[in-house]
Amino acid sequence: MKEFDVIVVGAGPAGASAALRMAQRGLDVLLLERGETPGAKNMFGGMMPFFPVAEELIPDFWMKAPWERHVVKRILYVSAKTSSTSMVFEADAFDCPPYNGFTLFRPVFDRWLAEETTKAGATLLCSCLVKDLIWKGKEVSGVKVGRDNGNVRAKVVVACDGVLSFLAQKAGLRKDFIPSQMALGVKALFRLTEEMINERFNLVRTQGATCEFLGCTDGIRGGGFIYTQTETLSVGIVLHLDALKKSGKAPYLLFEEFIGLPPVRRYLKDARLVEYSAHLLPEGGYRMVPKLFTDGMLVAGDAAALCYTNGLNQEGMNLAIASGFMAAETVIDAFTRGDFSSKQLSQYEARLKESFVLKDMKTFKEAVSWMHTERLFSEYPQLINRIMEEIYRSDGKPRRKIGKIGWDAVKGTISKRDLIADLLKGGKSLLW
């Protein structure tokens, strides 16, 4: 039976970051990936914000990483059946190093990060499905891989095996998920020339833009997105699983409706579809985070549900890399002390609580329940566009004050009680 100091399961951002940091510190690390290559099974097409931990992991990280575009423009669309309202934010500061955020193509980014891991001395094995944990009494002491003589032992296992984390469940660190904690992401990759993307989004050089859409999912809780890469657009929708199930609607039909919306259709004119995929996402926020450690094992990244949205920001990759880094630091300390107990490994949770990872998730923990308000995805988008249409309509009739237009629109759509409740809930989630 082979033996390493540490086994990391999953070569995504969390796993590769953990393996890289530990290899840099001289530990004998085995990094296992079930895909043919790191990133091969990933469907991410989005934005990773700047965060300093990456520079601790790899000096000049943001100069070396194969990012696609630096994001200078954020566009929010509120869509209705026959109209849409958009808000554009641009900042000169986001166009200067260190850039505020980047779009990525994960198959390229993940391979690069895994290569950095092997350069540091870690062993990477792909096409390896981890089937179970190996125990020594009540302590995790290795994994069972679906190959001949596939048992591998280690002092510590770091589970970075994705949102469904079979290993976290096997270790008793998490319970079964419920549909309200999960979302289904449906994404397609469309190819356009760099020049056409720049022209359509009014960009130059390596500037990038992101578009988020509300009210585009036929009343189902969720939203849509477009992210600009160098010569591709990542386009998709995210649907809360319980709401999708209740609707009885097919995700691919909702996606087809989304790409048929006039703003999306204009961006995609003459684009060629090159990839289509779907993936589950953790949407439970702070309250979904499981126990993060046990004797001989830590959990990081999506496996630890370290992902959140507050309706404006969607963050996950930065949390994954940071959690992998902190898991590695905890394991390094454990080797220094020769102690791999749950008590020693609990330092990992303490590190996360002191960092932006759990602080941000805790700050917006109430946003999860607010985002379960059905009206945010049905009545309110229709209401906003009805008000805007009335404000801008020219029909020869006397104009009314905007407050009167808004109040009349609200009266016919949402009760005063529901409106006040939604405003208070939204304020508690985002403002105070």
What's the CATH code of the domain at 317? Answer: 3.50.50.60
pLDDT at 149 over 80: no
> Percentage of the chain surpassing pLDDT 70?
99
**Structural tokens at position 45:** 């097409």
Q: Is residue 89 part of a domain?
A: no
The reply to whether 157 and 28 lie within a common domain is: yes
The reply to whether 199 and 220 lie within a common domain is: yes
The reply to whether 274 and 194 lie within a common domain is: yes
Q: Is residue 204 part of a domain?
A: yes
| Rounded-to-integer distance, Cα 409 and Cα 162, Å | 44
Domain encompassing residue 392? 369-430
> How sure is the predictor about 314, in pLDDT bands with cuts at 50, 70 and 90?
confident
| Rounded-to-integer distance, Cα 223 and Cα 281, Å | 13
- Paired with 240 in beta bridges are 183
Q: Is residue 79 part of a domain?
A: no
The reply to whether 326 and 409 lie within a common domain is: no
pLDDT at 326 over 80: yes
Mean pLDDT, the chain, rounded, equals: 93
The reply to whether 246 and 229 lie within a common domain is: yes
The per-residue pLDDT for 44 is 59
The reply to whether 42 and 8 lie within a common domain is: yes
The per-residue pLDDT for 203 is 97
Alpha helices, H only, 171-310: 194-201, 241-247, 251-259, 262-267
pLDDT at 142 over 70: yes
Residue 102 identity: F
**pLDDT (average), residues 139-164:** 92
pLDDT at 162 over 70: yes
- Determine which helix (DSSP H) or strand (DSSP E) holds 233, and give its type and residue range: strand 232-240
Q: Is residue 276 part of a domain?
A: yes
**pLDDT (average), residues 225-254:** 95
Q: Which residue has the tokens 């891991």?
A: 117
The reply to whether 8 and 131 lie within a common domain is: yes
| Rounded-to-integer distance, Cα 325 and Cα 318, Å | 11
Instruction: Point out the domain boundary residue: 260, 282, 304.
Output: 282
Closest of 261, 258, 225, 221 to residue 239, by C-alpha: 221
Q: Is residue 334 part of a domain?
A: yes
> How sure is the predictor about 310, in pLDDT bands with cuts at 50, 70 and 90?
confident
Closest of 124, 158, 97, 138 to residue 34, by C-alpha: 124
Count of CB atoms situated within 10 Å of the CB of 251: 18
The reply to whether 56 and 124 lie within a common domain is: yes
Cβ 262 vs Cβ 124: under 8 Å: no
Q: Is residue 76 part of a domain?
A: no
Cβ 181 vs Cβ 290: under 8 Å: no
The reply to whether 259 and 310 lie within a common domain is: no
The reply to whether 381 and 268 lie within a common domain is: no
Handedness of CA 398, 401, 402, 406 (dihedral sign): negative
Residue 218 identity: D
Q: Is residue 75 part of a domain?
A: no
Instruction: Point out the domain boundary residue: 255, 282, 309.
Output: 282
- Determine which helix (DSSP H) or strand (DSSP E) holds 406, and give its type and residue range: helix 402-411
The CA dihedral of 183, 67, 228, 278, to the nearest 10 degrees, is: -30
The per-residue pLDDT for 81 is 84
Cβ 183 vs Cβ 283: under 8 Å: yes
**Three-class SS of residue 159?**
strand
**Three-class SS of residue 276?**
strand
The per-residue pLDDT for 43 is 62
Q: How far apart are the first and last CA of the chain?
A: 55
The reply to whether 237 and 222 lie within a common domain is: yes
**pLDDT (average), residues 57-81:** 94
In angstroms, the Cα distances linking 203 to 53, 73, 87, 186 are 29, 9, 17, 26
Instruction: Point out the domain boundary residue: 282, 305, 323.
Output: 282
Phi-psi region of 157 (alpha: psi -120 to 50; beta: other; left: phi over 0): beta
The per-residue pLDDT for 2 is 84
Q: Is residue 345 part of a domain?
A: yes
pLDDT at 40 over 90: no
Alpha helices, H only, 155-284: 166-170, 194-201, 241-247, 251-259, 262-267
**CATH code, domain with 229:** 3.30.9.90
In angstroms, the Cα distances linking 323 to 222, 251, 285, 326 are 26, 31, 15, 5
The per-residue pLDDT for 1 is 63
Q: Which residue has the tokens 């026959």?
A: 82
The reply to whether 314 and 188 lie within a common domain is: no
Contacts of residue 73, defined as CB under 8 A and 6 or more positions apart, other chains included, come to: 88, 89, 90, 201, 202, 203, 207, 208, 209, 210
The per-residue pLDDT for 177 is 84
Cβ 77 vs Cβ 85: under 8 Å: yes
pLDDT at 432 over 80: no
Phi-psi region of 211 (alpha: psi -120 to 50; beta: other; left: phi over 0): beta
**Total number of domains in the chain:** 3
pLDDT tens digits, one per residue of 113-141: 999 999 999 999 999 999 999 999 999 99
- DSSP at 137: T
| Rounded-to-integer distance, Cα 42 and Cα 12, Å | 8
| Pairing state between β 2-9 and 151-159 | parallel
